[in-house]
């Protein structure tokens, strides 16, 4: 995987977090943020294509995931808030010499990417989210259909009867993925992660933060009329449930985007970067070409 890329450990946002990261290429910087329960290896089919097209590509494991560090949490799950994760990403990019960059986030990584764009508008040149609406928006619109389809949000978010005991009893039964779908090396990386109880706990903390402090941050932004300042692209998989849950997905995002808003479906299942890498790269490059007012 990631031929020609550098593998490193870098400091996060000042609370002792350390991120495992791969980076490579040369040109305008792009930060790729994975979802649950993947690692940065989910981008192994996308990152080389972007590097070959003239981009510097940075792919970290989010804090708590993969081989990045797992900070001790607190009662509010603040160390696993998307604000803390976004702070890690900003520190990482600055340590690599990138003051402005595009960010692409999938699934849980999309929430980190959105928070990064909201909290640090001067750093984010453009935002692309895959298969997501803002956490606060999802919970505000939550109904019986959402609860039935996305019940894992509420299961993983429990503290009184923690999900870790169920997952750690048989991680392979809980999580899905195969070497054929993901690629042998990416699957090995993911498989190691889901069999690490510390990683499983940290991933649950991510969801606990989502139901509490992350929602509060989104609601505060909504109340203040704060929106994403940079161009926003929203892509969703045709074989996922975004349209079923939200109807006009772009309409949901219009309240959150102050500037240009692009988007549409990609013929794929949920893991677009693994299942449709060429289509994703084409969509990203088209978006960036149309809205690249600051290439560096």
- Kindly list the catalytic residues: 107, 270
Cα–Cα distance, 24 to 6 (Å, whole number)? 6
User: Is 128 among the domain residues?
Assistant: yes
Helix (H, G, I), strand (E, B) or coil at 137: helix
Nearest of 40, 46, 32 to residue 67 by alpha carbon: 40
Query: pLDDT tens for residues 199-245?
Result: 999 999 999 999 999 999 999 999 999 999 999 999 999 999 999 99
Total structural domains in the chain?
1
User: Is 242 among the domain residues?
Assistant: yes
Query: pLDDT tens for residues 122-165?
Result: 999 999 999 999 999 999 999 999 999 999 999 999 988 889 99
Q: Between the CA of residue 233 and those of 126, 154, 170, 206, what are the distances in Å?
A: 8, 28, 37, 24
User: Is 21 among the domain residues?
Assistant: yes
User: Is 61 among the domain residues?
Assistant: yes
Indicate which CATH number applies to the domain containing 16.
Answer: 3.40.50.1820
Please state whether the predicted TM-score (pTM) of the whole model is above 0.85: yes
Q: Quote the crossing angle between the two packed helices 213-224 and 197-211, to the nearest 10°.
A: 30
User: Is 1 among the domain residues?
Assistant: no
Supply φ then ψ for residue 157, to 5 degrees.
-80, -5
User: Is 115 among the domain residues?
Assistant: yes
The one-character DSSP state at 78 is G
User: Is 204 among the domain residues?
Assistant: yes
Q: Residue 121: give the domain boundaries.
A: 6-291
User: Is 296 among the domain residues?
Assistant: no
């Amino acid at each position: 995987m990631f031929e020609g890329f550098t593998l490193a450990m870098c400091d996060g946002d000042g609370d002792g977090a350390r991120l495992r990261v791969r980076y490579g290429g040369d040109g305008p910087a792009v930060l790729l943020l994975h979802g649950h329960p993947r690692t940065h290896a989910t981008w192994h089919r996308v990152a080389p294509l972007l590097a070959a097209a003239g981009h510097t590509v940075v792919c970290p494991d989010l804090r708590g995931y993969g081989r990045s560090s797992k900070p001790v949490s607190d009662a509010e799950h603040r160390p696993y808030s998307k604000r803390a994760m976004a702070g890690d990403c900003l520190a990482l990019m600055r340590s690599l010499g990138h003051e402005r960059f595009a960010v692409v986030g999938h699934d849980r990584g999309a929430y980190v990417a959105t928070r990064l764009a909201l909290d640090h508008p001067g750093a984010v040149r453009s935002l692309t989210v895959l298969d997501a609406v803002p956490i606060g928006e999802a919970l505000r619109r939550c109904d019986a259909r959402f609860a039935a389809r996305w019940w894992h949000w509420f299961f993983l978010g429990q503290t009184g009867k923690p999900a870790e005991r169920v997952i750690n009893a048989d991680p392979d039964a809980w999580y899905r993925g195969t070497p054929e779908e993901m690629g042998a090396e990416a699957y090995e990386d993911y498989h190691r992660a889901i069999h690490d109880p510390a990683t499983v706990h940290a991933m649950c903390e991510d969801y606990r933060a989502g139901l509490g402090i992350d929602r509060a941050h989104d609601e505060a932004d909504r109340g203040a009329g704060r929106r994403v300042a940079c161009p926003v692209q929203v892509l969703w998989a045709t074989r996922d449930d975004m349209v079923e849950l939200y109807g006009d997905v772009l309409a949901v995002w219009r309240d959150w985007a102050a500037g240009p808003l692009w988007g549409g479906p990609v013929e794929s299942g949920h893991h677009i970067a693994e299942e449709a890498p060429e289509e994703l790269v084409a969509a990203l490059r088209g978006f960036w070409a149309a809205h690249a007012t600051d290439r560096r």
